[in-house]
Amino acid sequence: MDIKKAATWTASWEIMKMKKVTSLLAMTVAAVMAMTGCGGNDAADDSAGNKVYHIGIIQQMEHGSLDQATKGFEDKLTELLGEDNVEFDYQNAQGEQANCTTISTKFVSDGCDLIMANATTALQTAAAATSDIPIVGTSVTDYVTAGVVESNEAPGKNVTGVSDLASVEKQIDVLMQFCDKENTKVAVVYCSAEPNSTYQADLAKKYLEEQKIPYAIYTAADSNEIQAVVTKAVADCNAMYIPTDNTFANNMEIVKNIAVPARVPTVTGAEAMCEVGALATLSISYYDLGAKAAEMAYDILVNGKKPAEMPIEYLTDGLVPKYNADIAEALGITIPEGMEPVA
């Protein structure tokens, strides 16, 4: 081999070695970049000496009650863990079950330390996506009805949480304060696609029958049917009860625009619904509901508790009947003593 060829061969070999090194570096960088999302910062966590918890939050849709629950959860868990020790990946499914499924799958792929599921469909899709990652639910009425636990006392799975069930019977009592029992027919109105709502409607029917108050059931399959359903309800009845129903909560302006001109008093299961379009409510604080869920999440993450062994919790404090002053004035109704105005 002459000197010129030897030099050319040597240069080529050096270039090949440099390409191999560059390729290895690129692969290393790609691998590091892939370790993002809920669970990709473990090494950084360890080197910093503090665990950073990665929490996926899936909210079924955007309305006042769910927004408050999410805020309560984030505020309380940040307080408990410390601002530098928790990261939230908040995702809103915009009321679409397919979006809930996509978000839940993403959280599992990301390796979140815990998933907070806000509302029933969000909880159901999260539970279907993983049996390993702990899930804490909120804004869910009955976890057994939702099909995500074996019992409310002993969940038996990776799911636990807080129920938003207030006393349906007492909510009906609030409604009847504005009505003449002898001449009242109550419309029980809800979305038939929501297990939470069906559960509460069954409780309402049972209580109305016990009290010998005439009633009728009106259901909407989705938001597109709300206007027609409410129009029918106020034509047939002179009082209306709507439980904590996400579909109706997102469309209370429609309810108000139909019920108020018809002079039909409406009581809802959630304060945020009342703020927009109902006369009165007896509701828990959804902010406090989210904060309670955060306390349960902290027990799981830090204290090693297992969701399977953590009973579903309930809020028992702060149940004060409240009213919407603008709607009371529009209906010409005098508010009984002991009721507070909504914010």
- Same domain? For 196 and 335 the reply is yes
- Model confidence over 290-340: pLDDT tens digits? 999 999 999 999 999 999 999 999 997 768 899 999 999 999 999 998 899
- Same domain? For 123 and 265 the reply is no
Residue 117 near residue 136, CB atoms below 8 Å: yes
Q: Is the pLDDT of residue 78 over 60?
A: yes
Could you tell me if residue 36 is inside a domain? no
Torsion of CA 87, 93, 99, 104, to 10 degrees: 30
Secondary structure of residue 205 in the 3-state scheme: helix
Could you tell me if residue 21 is inside a domain? no
- Model confidence over 137-159: pLDDT tens digits? 999 999 999 999 999 999 999 99
Q: Which band of pLDDT confidence, cut at 50, 70 and 90, is reported for residue 12?
A: very low
Q: Is the pLDDT of residue 267 over 50?
A: yes
Q: Is the pLDDT of residue 41 over 90?
A: no
Say how many C-beta atoms besides its own lie within 10 A of residue 304's C-beta. Answer: 7
CATH of the domain at 337: 3.40.50.2300
Secondary structure of residue 151 in the 3-state scheme: coil
Burial (CB count <10 Å: 0-12, 13-18, 19+), residue 96: middle
Q: Is the pLDDT of residue 274 over 50?
A: yes
Quick one: pLDDT at residue 22? 40
Q: Is the pLDDT of residue 45 over 50?
A: no
- Same domain? For 243 and 302 the reply is no
- Same domain? For 69 and 160 the reply is yes
Q: Is the pLDDT of residue 70 over 90?
A: yes
- Same domain? For 127 and 196 the reply is no
Contacts of 225 (CB under 8 A, 6+ apart): none
Q: Is the pLDDT of residue 42 over 50?
A: no
Quick one: pLDDT at residue 37? 57
6-15, 54-63, 74-83, 116-125: which has the minimum mean pLDDT?
A: 6-15
| Mean pLDDT over the full length of the chain | 88
Q: Cα separations (Å) of 13 from 20, 21, 294?
A: 11, 13, 60
Q: In what order do the strands lie in the sheet with 239-242?
A: 215-220, 186-191, 239-242, 266-268, 280-283, 320-323, 340-341
The domain of 152 spans: 43-164+286-311
Mean pLDDT for 34-52 is 52
Please give the Cα distance from 234 to 329 (Å, whole number): 19
Please give the Cα distance from 322 to 335 (Å, whole number): 10
Alpha helices by DSSP H, the chain: 3-34, 42-48, 64-81, 97-110, 120-129, 168-176, 195-210, 226-236, 246-249, 252-259, 271-277, 286-301, 325-331
Q: Is the pLDDT of residue 29 over 70?
A: no
Please give the Cα distance from 143 to 145 (Å, whole number): 5
Total count of domains within the chain: 2
Could you tell me if residue 25 is inside a domain? no
Tokens found for residue 127:
């539970």
Tokens found for residue 179:
């009505």
The residue that leads in pLDDT, 46 or 56, is: 56
- Same domain? For 174 and 305 the reply is no
Tokens found for residue 40:
């990709």
Q: Is the pLDDT of residue 130 over 80?
A: yes
Tokens found for residue 122:
């969000």
